[in-house]
Structures are given as structure tokens and as C-alpha cells.
Amino acid sequence: MKLGSEWFPVIIGTFVLSLISWMNSILFNLPILFDVGKVIYFIALVIFIIIFYGWISRITTNWREDMENLNRISSTAFLGVILFISGFFFMTYVEINYEIAYALLVLYFLGYSIVFLVNVYLGYKLFTKDVRQNEISYALLVPAIALSANVILSAPLLPPSLPFISTYFVKIVYFIMLFSVGITFFQVIFIGSIAFLSHVIYKGSSATVMIPVGAASILAINVLVFPSYNYLHLFYFPPESALTLAIMLWGFEMWNSLVALIIAVKHIKDKPSLTSWAYVFPLAISSFSDFMLYQETSLLVFKATEVAFSLAIILLYAYSLRNTIFVLKNKV
């Protein structure tokens, strides 16, 4: 069996279980959940190695097919996101020093290079390829989301969070973070509008309805990080303004999440496929933004939504894992 880029969400979905374990260990002061998250993290790394090896070992003709399929091109951007997440959890679960910090900075630049190149290539194909209707879906937003997902690794790695990275590289990475948010914002508007019309008219995969939640959430996370840029004395973004904008984006997250979850329940008996993983990772990004908003405001509504989404993620993970096992049985 050949593994394509559509299998990368399985890896991210497993990392998501580590994320919710870590977040809830902090919210409820339960060290056992921290340990559970650490174990899941290393399991996810093993799954990544297996799937990545299967992906890079495929024959050339399949690579060419992938590079002509817009959805598979989009899924390739998950590779960069996996590197961002891996680096973030390494800092979370393993002690970090000067050498490790710079090794993670190299990982950051590698991950960003991947998602940026995939993003540009997808744009090129959208403008030059004869696009089929079944290729237009919210899945095309993945490279845009992945571009701003660099904040997952960059924000906790840079000062003022950690002191290891020099000011020279801090300026470069902060510029990349701002640069990426601008691209993501406009791509979400333009590509998202096309995908929305396509889905409403032609009723594509129900799971992809959750992806705009991830788009709004990753923008909210970036906005909440904006005040940390003040560290350089080149920018100034008031924390109150960041919080205001993030809560506005949170409102859209809630609406879209509720719609998507209702649709998920309605389609629970659909034929099993890997697309169900599209429910998991956007909800995880939203859960993380709720976690950050709770830390900023201490408002219980954000804690409640984080817990509710954590439970939903566990159920959706179990459902997606069941679908994946079914797909594997049919392909082996």
C-alpha cells in the first residue's frame, strides 16, 4: 500500500491528543495528564516516521499525480505543520538549552520553507491548471493555515518566552510571522470564498466544513502573540487590542464549530474515509486559542469551551481512527 500526503492528518490528529492532555494538565493541575501527553507525543513521532518513510519511498509516477491534484498538494503543507508541532512539544516535554534552541530554530526554518513553497505552488496551479469542481474545497485553505501555524513553534521559542535566540534571528522570525499572517488573511478571504460557494452548490465533503475554524483560530493565536513583538521596540501592539480582535475571531470559531459538529453527527454513518480527520485538527487549533484566551482573561467561558472541544476531539479522534482502520483493511 502506498501512503500519500492525505495520511499526514493522521499524524497531526495524534499530536492533538497530546495537546489536549497537556492543556488540561495545566487547567486542572493534573500532572498525570502531562505524562499521558508526553507518551502520546512520542507515539505520534513513531507514526510520523512510518508514514513519512512510506510517503517518500513511492514511485515517481505517483509523485507526478500528486503534484497535479490540488487537494494532495494542499495536504503536503501538513509536513511543515508536523515539524512545528514536533518542535513545540519537544520544548514542552524535554529540557531545552542554547544548542537545542538553535536546532529547533533550524527545524522552524525547514518547516516554514516547506509550507511556503507548497503555498506558492498551490497558487501557481490554481492560476494555470484546468481546475475540476471536485478539487475546489476548504482543503485548499490548508497551506494558508500552515503558513501562519509557524507561530506554534516560533512564539514559545523566541524571546521574551525563552532567552536563547539572538536578536538578529528574532527580527527575522518576527518579520516572517507578520508576513505570514497577511498572506493567510487574504488567502482565507479569496480561496475560502470560492470553496464556500463550491461546497454550498455542489455539497462536497462534510468534514472540510470544519477547516475554516482552524483558519480563524490560527489567526486569533497569532493576534494574541502580537504584543510580544513589542520586545524589539520596532512594533507596538497593545495587549487590549490583541485580545479584542482575538475574541472577535473566537465568535466566528464558535459559530462555525457548532455548524460543523452538527454536520459531523448527521454524517456519522457515511462511508469511512480519511477525510474525517479534517474534523480533528481545526477543532484542536480552536481549543488551543480558547486555552490562550482563558489564560489571558480567566473567563470561565473559554475554559468551558476548551474542555468541551477536548471531549469532542477525543470522540472525533476515535471515529477517525475507526475509519482509518477500515481504510487500511480495504487496501491491504
pLDDT at 135 over 80: no
pLDDT value, residue 243: 94
CB 141 within 8 A of CB 188: yes
Q: What is the pLDDT of residues 67-87, one digit of tens each?
A: 778 888 899 999 999 999 999
Confidence of residue 61 (pLDDT cuts 50, 70, 90): very low
Asked if 164 contacts 99 with a C-beta cutoff of 8 angstroms, the reply is no
pTM equals 0.92
What confidence tens digit (pLDDT) does each residue in 253-288 have? 999 888 888 887 777 777 777 788 888 999 999 999
Helix (H) or strand (E) holding 223: helix 211-225
Hey, where are the domains in the chain? 96-330
In what helix (H) or strand (E) does residue 261 lie, and over which residues does it extend? helix 239-266
pLDDT digits (tens, 9 = 90+) for 140-163: 999 999 999 999 999 999 998 899
- 171-191 mean pLDDT: 94
Contact between residue 171 and residue 234 where contact means Cβ atoms under 8 Å apart = yes
Type of residue at 268: I
**63 contacts: CB under 8 Å, gap ≥ 6:** none
